């Protein structure tokens, strides 16, 4: 730790990092840092009754639901000094039914039904009521009504990880469909329980349609893309600079932002809390969040759909598409957005139409996603790693002649059997995707001029005080043959002009990949 860091911690004592903690009482009792979200909870209660929120995993959804629970149960001592302290009527206490599918993996409809029965029984015991109905829907209806009658106050229902039983089985359509129907049977009870309900909050990762899971619950307000509640989960810049101020000395503030900020739901952008807490503990920039849940299913899906990787960070999607998700209808854009691998960049709107441009939220996601894709593109997890690290060393040294043999060696390591057996290698954009993803896996500043033509890629890399402009082409020729005019195209279209004002050295690089040889056949470099 630096001397400045020591001075800061002396002036502002560091607290315990709430890693893995999901209950407000534990945070307060243990003297942990807490980014106060209680004001959002009060706002929601004052504004409505039925809410739905979709957020990626490990963004603090469970802690927020626990905050709601403590509010409604009237545990005023936990909110001393928090936003809710003076805005809440502590004289009223409401019975709270909590349902969470966050624990364990359920592999059949029978296991799901058994788990639901257990959850309902746990709530009965906690609330001091006894239900006699045998069916799941009957038990929940009875539980809500009896809790209202016993307490004299209407009931609060909080549902966490509402979609996990489906997502855990998403590759098995039959099982996932059974899970969906079982959960629909549970959630549909809320429609007829309005007279007994004070507040309902349902949260998870994905956003299934109301028809598929919340049949008839037409008053369920979706706040996923509400600017007002954009920062309900996650840490804002203000949170980082105030609540976590004692943790900042010794860490590059701009690097923190570029690595972990950028998640945007039309309002204030936020940091991933899991990343931030582990960064503060380990004092090292790593892909903490991504590595805890490598999206195997997503990577396979993108590969099967032959997604052009340079385009991923410039995805355009209509509002309806981002909200479309079901067992047998999984748009790539919706899956990546809901999982947190893409976030909103810009919004374009005309009457009746709202269109979003999506981007990678930060370096962590860009680098980790492309690294994972590379492993799949290349038919083996051990192939890309050494080449990615070597690429960084080559760029750091500005050793441009070393780029050609580096990529040549990389493509040469891909087994020929993989080319024969994989449909991915048969589409032209594969070559450009491989090339681009190597640079993206390093989290570098990459600018794409034209990512719509899958036969080539115009790519600019800004790194270490240099500007590298690439033109990539796939040709039919072999080693030593015409390189397809890649370098000439860079010069003819004056790609370098927009970067001259930077006053940095510019390098023009034309790359041609031979379809028959499956390797680089031309690599031309010229000063810009």
CA distance to 308, 441, 481, per residue, from 484 (Å): 21, 27, 9
CA-based nearest residue to 95, from 219, 193, 210: 193
User: Domains in the chain, please, with CATH?
Assistant: 35-229 (3.40.50), 379-527 (3.40.1350)
pLDDT 10s digits, 431-473: 778 888 899 999 999 988 754 445 556 789 999 999 999 988 8
Is pLDDT larger for residue 458 or for residue 392?
Answer: 392
The pTM (predicted TM-score) of the whole model is 0.90
> What is the per-residue pLDDT for 472?
84
Cα atoms in the Cβ-side hemisphere of radius 13 Å centred on 383: 20
CA distance to 78, 110, 229, per residue, from 225 (Å): 29, 34, 8
pLDDT 10s digits, 61-93: 999 999 999 999 999 999 999 999 999 999 999
The dihedral through the CA atoms of 138, 142, 145, 147 has a sign that is negative
Is pLDDT larger for residue 432 or for residue 35?
Answer: 35
pLDDT 10s digits, 101-128: 999 999 999 999 999 999 999 999 999 9
pLDDT 10s digits, 283-320: 999 999 998 876 788 888 887 887 888 888 888 898 88
CA-based nearest residue to 382, from 417, 407, 410: 410
In percent, how much of the chain has pLDDT > 70? Answer: 91
Integer Cα distance of 53 and 233 in angstroms: 10
Integer Cα distance of 359 and 315 in angstroms: 7
Quick count: other Cβ atoms within 10 Å of Cβ 154? 18
């Amino acid at each position: 730790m630096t001397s400045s860091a020591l001075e800061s911690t002396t002036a502002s004592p560091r607290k315990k990092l709430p890693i893995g903690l999901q209950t407000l009482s534990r945070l307060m009792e243990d003297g942990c840092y807490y980014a106060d979200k209680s004001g959002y909870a009060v706002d929601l209660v004052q504004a409505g009754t039925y809410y739905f929120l979709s957020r990626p995993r490990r963004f603090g959804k469970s802690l927020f639901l626990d905050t709601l629970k403590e509010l409604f149960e009237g545990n005023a001592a936990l909110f001393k000094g928090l936003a809710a302290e003076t805005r809440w009527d502590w004289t009223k206490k409401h019975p709270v039914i909590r349902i969470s599918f966050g624990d364990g993996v359920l592999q059949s409809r029978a296991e799901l039904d058994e788990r639901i029965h257990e959850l309902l029984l746990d709530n009965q015991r906690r609330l001091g009521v006894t239900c006699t109905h045998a069916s799941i829907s009957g038990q929940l209806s009875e539980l809500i009504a009896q809790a209202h009658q016993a307490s004299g106050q209407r009931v609060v229902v909080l549902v966490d990880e509402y979609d996990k039983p489906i997502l855990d089985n998403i590759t098995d359509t039959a099982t996932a469909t059974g899970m969906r129907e079982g959960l629909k049977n549970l959630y549909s009870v809320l429609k007829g329980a309005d007279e007994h309900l004070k507040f309902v909050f349902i949260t998870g990762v994905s956003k299934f349609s109301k028809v598929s899971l919340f049949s008839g619950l037409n008053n369920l307000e979706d706040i996923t893309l509400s600017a007002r509640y954009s920062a309900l989960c996650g840490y804002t810049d203000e949170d980082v600079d105030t609540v976590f101020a004692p943790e900042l000395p010794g860490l590059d503030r701009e690097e923190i932002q570029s690595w972990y900020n950028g998640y945007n739901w039309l309002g204030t952008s936020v940091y991933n809390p899991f990343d931030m807490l582990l960064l503060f503990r380990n004092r090292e920039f790593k892909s903490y969040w991504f590595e805890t849940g490598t999206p195997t299913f997503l990577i396979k899906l993108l590969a099967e759909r032959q997604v052009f990787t340079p385009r991923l960070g410039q995805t355009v999607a209509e509002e309806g598409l981002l909200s479309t998700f079901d067992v047998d209808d999984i748009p790539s854009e919706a899956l990546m957005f809901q999982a947190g691998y893409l976030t909103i960049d810009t919004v374009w709107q005309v009457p009746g139409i709202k269109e979003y441009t999506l981007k990678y939220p930060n370096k962590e996601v860009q680098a980790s996603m492309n690294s994972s894709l590379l492993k799949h593109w290349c038919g083996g997890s051990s192939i890309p790693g050494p080449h990615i690290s070597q690429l960084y060393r080559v760029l750091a040294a500005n050793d441009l002649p070393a780029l050609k043999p580096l990529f040549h060696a990389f493509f040469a390591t891909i087994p020929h059997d993989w080319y024969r057996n994989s449909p991915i290698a048969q589409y032209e954009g594969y070559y450009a995707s491989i090339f681009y993803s190597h640079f993206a896996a390093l989290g570098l500043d990459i600018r794409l001029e034209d990512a719509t033509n899958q036969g080539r890629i115009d790519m600019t890399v800004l790194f270490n005080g240099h500007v590298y402009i690439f033109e990539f082409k796939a040709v039919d020729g072999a080693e030593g043959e015409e390189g397809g005019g890649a370098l000439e195209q860079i010069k003819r279209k004056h790609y370098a002009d927009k970067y001259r004002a930077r006053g940095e050295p510019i390098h023009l690089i034309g790359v041609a990949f031979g379809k028959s040889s499956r390797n680089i056949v031309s690599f031309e470099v010229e000063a810009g």
